[in-house]
Chain A
């Protein structure tokens, strides 16, 4: 196999595609966590998004409805988490775990009749430019609209958090819910909104997998990507731009591992598959050692229950 320039272009394009679900889910979770809520249900919300997107595509034959529906189902399932943690003040970690277990079970139940049905081709944009421009063509063009959205999302998230009033409100609620509440901000409502937004993005991330990346429904098809997305948020020290970089690194490892297998590289594939997880641990160790670095963006009240005496 020759490593010519056009091959590298195609490689980069496929790395981008594999990082999309991570970017979407991690960007959503980032907003949720910035408001002080730790939702470990990312994997569960993603898998629900994946099955509902695919099921809606099969039933309605309309990809737009499928995409919007997957986001909506992410919102619905995250509403369970929101109601429990915000209205009934339950522990964030336990509730999130329950959401993941519940989501995986429910998705397999709903998806029973959708196993083995072939997916539909998702429209790609600028496909002619992809072929005609060497190297940059496969990188910049010929992707689905969801990919372009995903790559814009970290920048939009960054702008939202740093430059808008609403972003400031979200950060204030995450850093000091008590003072935010004293300023007249309804902490619970803000956190509800952030949880539901996170659910929508995780739903979309799931739908990207079942409609675009590998267009079919397979039980448990998110295969731990939700947990990687969660790790990515910490990896990125709650900074949206670093989420993008981290997702590309993880996507890169996934793709590299496939190609090394194809070349017949001598390292067992299981070791390559374990790399993203080991990388996450190493990065966690490196960033957590420096407490100043991690405190810079960490929402101070992350995972803590807020209760206001009425």
Chain B
């Protein structure tokens, strides 16, 4: 017989262990799906999770994809910790890339050390402004931030589409939907010759350190955590709820904007329609898998980046559609949420015979 009891408090070790259970279950689930689709599951999983990172180029690609995921998830952790459901990071990423890209295009035929910092700053501010829209509507008009931030994703993507087709399209580009190439001064410096990994990774690492400091060492971080645990307590403590909502959205938007600018000044080098394979949405999974903890998020961003990379490799070698990446990402979150049950409830397996003897 199985007996389920509610736990009084969450065991911390288990709290950080269940993400690993979720990852293992996802791999098993993926194997089953590959088997159903008629592939050898062991071979498919090998192409998915081992082949992509078995050489230097692959590792560089992994870090390249983990960088925006990590940045966005760090920003989202501020929102989620304080119970603000910003799910429009993809829009903030896009708008940040538009603003940063606009600045880069102003300097398309110039060189100078000051250009890249300006572009990066513009991207962060762009993301911040775009995130302020749902935040202001939530604080002053009581509007649901989930729907507003999400609707703005589509608005920003359409704006980008308009710009690259219309006013910002490359005059020498034969009507392709893309802008001019940015000048070298607007590009992130590459870390190694021949690999795509760029200096943007330091932005992500700086964001990790800074967020750890803010969340665990400052009064603001304390406010954020208390508001997340209990809004009533936060009110009694006299925290300025409205200011805090604005601040967490601004942090989150700035991080997403940085991620966007990192993509266009890093591997892409111009603006076009497809600047992000839904990093803004996938980062939500990263934030959860990393338990909203800055260092957990580093680990989670690597795992989720591997699902992107694995999907590409599996498509090349086995002709499995690359959308399997999203299937894996969805499964990780399903299993993670499901295994959280173990955090709040104790599952006891009782020996039926002994019980009967006692009666």
Contact = CB atoms under 8 A, between A and B. Distances in A.
A88 B151 contact: no
**Consensus secondary structure, chain B interface:** helix
Contacts of B285: 98, 101
Contacts of B151: 227, 231, 277-278, 280-281
Contact of B141 (A99, A101, A104, A288): A288
Contacts of A100: 330
Contacts of A230: 147
B325 to A, nearest CB: 7
Interface string A93-124: 11101111111111011001000000000000
A156 interface: no
A284 B341 contact: no
A145 interface: no
Interface in A218-236: 219, 224, 227, 230-231, 234
Interface string B316-343: 0000110111111111011001101100
Given A84-B338, A234-B147, A288-B143, A105 B158 contact: no
Contacts of A95: 333-334, 337
Nearest to A278: B155
Interface residues of A, number: 46
A219 B322 CA distance: 12
A89 interface: yes
Interface string B118-159: 000000000000000000010001111011101110110011
Contacts of B338: 84, 88, 90
Given A88-B338, A109-B37, A270-B162, A284 B148 contact: yes
A274 interface: yes
Contact of B326 (A84, A105, A268): A105
24 contacts: A89-B344, A90-B337, A93-B87, A94-B284, A95-B334, A98-B330, A99-B330, A101-B326, A102-B331, A102-B333, A105-B326, A105-B329, A106-B326, A106-B327, A108-B323, A112-B321, A227-B150, A227-B151, A271-B158, A278-B151, A281-B137, A281-B143, A281-B148, A281-B152
A104 B323 contact: yes
